[in-house]
Amino acid sequence: MNTIPQISTELRTALQRSGLRQADLRAAAGVSRQTLANVLSGTEDFKLSTLLGLADKLGLELLLLPKDAARGMASAAEPVVETVVDLVRKRLALQEGSNA
């Protein structure tokens, strides 16, 4: 994620999962009502210190990655889970190869 709206979406999602109310998060992070509203709206720029404070209170960690690594994470396919049929086919293919 590399845009303010994307970061705001992640923060809103984390807030919903946490069960905290916005008032509780504001108090814990030491930000004003308007600042939190601006951050969560995704339409306003905010300070890095504000992001760090909110992320910490929501149990999130801010990481900086090289762009190549971040692109690799974004495009990584879901792991493939082999079915029992796939495993049997592989075993049969290996057996046929060793019998030849």
Domains annotated on the chain, with CATH: 1-64 (1.10.260.40)
User: Which residue, among 48, 34, 45, 42, has the nearest Cα to 7 in the 3D structure?
Assistant: 42
Q: Which amino acid is at 38?
A: N
Q: Are 26 and 38 in contact (CB under 8 A)?
A: no
Measure CA 61 to chain center. 10
d(CA 45, CA 81): 41
Model confidence pLDDT, tens digit, residues 6-33: 999 999 999 999 999 999 999 999 999 9
Which comes out higher in pLDDT, residue 79 or 55?
Answer: 55
Mean of the per-residue pLDDT values of the chain: 85
pTM exceeds 0.85, yes or no: no
- Segment 77-81 shows an average pLDDT of 59
Q: One-letter amino acid identity for 13?
A: T
Instruction: Check residue 85 and give its pLDDT.
Output: 80
Confidence of residue 38 (pLDDT cuts 50, 70, 90): very high
